[in-house]
Amino acid sequence: MKLAKFSKLFEFSRDLRFNQALFHCRRLHYVQGQYGTNKRREYFYYIDHHGQLFLDDARMKNFTSCFKETKFLHFFFSRLKYNDSGSYNEDFPYMSPCGRERNYIRCDDLPIVFTKILQPEDPSEPTLFSYCGANELLTVPFHPEKICMLPESGRIYHPGPPETGGVGLVKSSLAIEMSKSFEFGDSGEYDPPTHFTWAEEKYELKNDIVELLRKEYDRVDLIRSGKENNF
pLDDT in tens, 167-220: 999 999 999 999 999 999 887 777 889 999 999 999 999 898 988 899 999 999
The tally of CA atoms less than 13 A away on the side-chain side of residue 61 is: 16
Whole-number Cα distances in Å, 210 to 42, 148, 196: 34, 8, 17
Look at residue 14 and tell me if it is in a domain: no
Quick: pLDDT tens for 117-128.
Answer: 999 989 889 999
Q: Are residues 116 and 105 part of one domain?
A: no
Structural domain for 180, as ranges:
111-220
Residue 151 within any structural domain of the chain? yes
CA distance 189 to 130: 28
Same domain assignment for residues 120 and 205: yes
- Pick the closest to residue 92 from 69, 78, 66, 111 (CA basis): 111
134 and 63 share one domain:
no
212 shares a domain with 139 = yes
Residue 229 confidence (pLDDT): 52
Encode pLDDT of 44-63 as tens digits.
Answer: 999 999 999 999 999 899 99
**pTM score of the predicted model:** 0.86
Residue among 191, 212, 200, 80 at smallest CA distance from 146: 212
Last residue of a domain, one of 82, 109, 136: 109
Q: Name the nearest CA neighbour of 76 among 61, 55, 90.
A: 55
Query: Could you tell me what percent of the chain has a pLDDT over 70?
Result: 87
Examine residue 3 and state whether it is found in any structural domain, yes or no: no
pLDDT given at position 230 = 46
> Is 40 inside any structural domain?
yes
pLDDT at 168: 97
Residue 17: the pLDDT is 52
Q: Are residues 169 and 104 in the same domain?
A: no
Q: Residue 15 pLDDT > 60, yes or no? A: no
172 and 213 in one domain? yes
Statement to judge: residues 115 and 216 lie in one domain? yes
**Whether residue 53 is found in the same domain as residue 85:** yes
Considering 51, 76, 109, which residue would you say is the last residue of a domain?
A: 109
In this structure, the answer to whether residues 142 and 70 fall within a common structural domain is: no
* Across 21-25, 145-149, 160-164, least confident range: 21-25
* Among 86, 109, 132, residue at a domain's last position: 109
Whether residue 101 is found in the same domain as residue 116: no
Instruction: Give residue 157's pLDDT.
Output: 98
Same domain, residue pair 211 and 156: yes
Average pLDDT for the chain:
87
How many domains does the chain contain in total? 2
